[in-house]
Amino acid sequence: MNRIEECLARLQRAGRKGFIVYIGAGDPNLAATRELALAFDQAGVDILELGVPFSDPLADGLVNQLAAQRGLESGATPPKVLATVAAIRKRSEIPIVLYIYFNLIHRVGLARFIRDAARAGVDGLLVLDLPPEESDDYEVLMKKNGLGHIYLVAPTTPEDRMEFIVKRGSGFIYYVSREGVTGMQKQVASNLAQQVAKIRAHTKLPIAVGFGISTPEQAKRVAQNADAVVVGSAVVNQIAERGKSKDLVRHASAFVKSLANAIKSI
């Protein structure tokens, strides 16, 4: 098992829910990304998702699009993101997933990127625009290098396709709890319990639920049905508000800890 599998299995044995946080790598710079990762590890985050900046992030709402733009402006190229992961690894064993668009992988070369990611200490990839039907070589290389290949299931995914997707995935299944792009929402999807149950009927993998979760109350509600809760835009927004200020890490960590406490209270 890699770090993702070990972490989620440990949480399951303890009867606890997982907490996954997404941030944009290089926002506001890669040094901050490293310090935020280390602080989040101490604040109760179980798995860290690092968004690799891309110029055309089609699955992302405005908050994360702007984070990607800031990451590009700070020079957060894929090799530099991997170097940052390697730096985090010197001080932390927090599982790390790269949230990435396939064009960035293709430009480097599939085999080379996966090999380099594994060597840097990455534990899994969530490739937003790579469907399972086109992932045979990708999955073979991921398994060979000990990385989890994480797939998305959406509210609009037909059940027969849902079954196909979850049987191809590893690490965990990421359920997108609402239609559209990433972003903060005022309410949790009303059909969440039914949708998660439908996915559970087809897989034993842990189910992480994300998209739109922005408050401790929402996180706690989602944790009642999911194995793990993913919070992205709300954390990215905290980073955007503080920018390069000296209290960025402290402020963002306090917010993250409030979310972690809500999830762990289940």
Tell me the catalytic residues: 49, 60
CA atoms of 46 and 53, how far apart (whole Å): 22
Helices (H), 20-158: 30-43, 62-73, 78-89, 102-108, 110-120, 136-144
List the one residue out of 172, 163, 108 whose CA is nearest residue 141. 108
Please name the residues in contact with 150: beta carbons below 8 A apart, sequence gap of 6 or more.
97, 124, 125, 126, 169, 170, 171, 172, 173, 174
CA atoms of 94 and 36, how far apart (whole Å): 12
H/E element, 22: strand 18-24
CB crowding 96-125: b at 16 or more within 10 Å, else e? bbbbbbbebbeebeeeebbbbbbebbbbbb
Residue that has been written with the tokens 């996954």 in this structure: 20
240: tokens are 């955007």
List the one residue out of 262, 258, 221 whose CA is nearest residue 238. 258
